[in-house]
Amino acid sequence: MDKLEKFSLVLKKFVPDGFETHLAKLILQGQVKFKIVKGRKTKLGDFRVSSQQEIPTITVNGDLNSYSFLITALHELAHLNTFRSFGFLILPHGPEWKNEFRSLLIPIIDSGKLPDEIKIALMKSLVNTKASSCSDIQLTRVLRKYDNLTNQVVISLEDLSEGDTFEINGKKFVKGKLRRSRYLCREVGTEKPYLIHKLAQIINHTNE
């Protein structure tokens, strides 16, 4: 079994069926350290490099659903490819990165292997590519349908009514009014105001 086959077998556990070899080829061609890591609350993946001599590193959260994992990996590979072409002289999510990300997404969209709703959301995102999939609200809504959180009921903050109490990261809040893409909420007890994204996940445990 060669390196491509071995890497494809690893990725098969994390990406939708039929995409593992395609993604493995892109990673191997990029000559990058690719790490699957524990879930992080602040980011889905990242790209790091400190000098021209250092081998770049990409990390992707291993708890993502398969479609989110694939798109996040392509997002970070777009950073790698733009770095290879332009070095540190460009904005992280400038036009060069956007063009590269689009070029990586198009073969995925054209593969015929995506659910129609994800394909449509990605096609729309090509028109105005965001800095992250989380910034693309419609795409995020679609991708969240494929999350699998056992024994948990997951809703978004936008699904609650104004005045409802909810909990995120161990803190309790009261939902306030919408300001663009975020709700102005206040923390229970301290009354401290927080702007919380309308797609923030609210988890109600059903077995309590």
- From first to last of its 208 residues, what are the pLDDT tens digits of the chain? 799 999 999 999 999 999 999 999 999 999 999 999 998 878 899 999 987 667 999 999 999 999 999 999 999 999 999 999 998 888 888 999 999 999 999 999 999 999 999 999 999 888 766 555 455 678 888 898 888 654 455 678 888 989 999 988 788 899 999 998 899 999 999 999 999 988 887 765 333 3
CATH no. for 152-205 = 2.30.30
Gap between the Cα atoms of 159 and 98, Å rounded: 31
Q: Following CA atoms 37, 38, 42, 48 in sequence, which dihedral angle do they give, to the nearest 10 degrees?
A: -10
DSSP class of 188 = T
What's residue 6's pLDDT?
Answer: 92
- Residue 137 · residue 199 · CB < 8 Å: yes
- Residue 65 · residue 44 · CB < 8 Å: no
pTM of the entire predicted model? 0.75
- Residue 197 · residue 181 · CB < 8 Å: yes
* 61: phi then psi, degrees, rounded to nearest 5: -65, 130
What's residue 131's pLDDT?
Answer: 52
Comparing C-alpha atoms, which of 28, 29, 205 is closest to residue 10? 28
Residue 187 is encoded by which pair of tokens?
């923390």
- Residue 206 · residue 150 · CB < 8 Å: no
Gap between the Cα atoms of 152 and 137, Å rounded: 22
- Residue 166 · residue 173 · CB < 8 Å: yes
- Which residue shows structure tokens 């909420």? 185
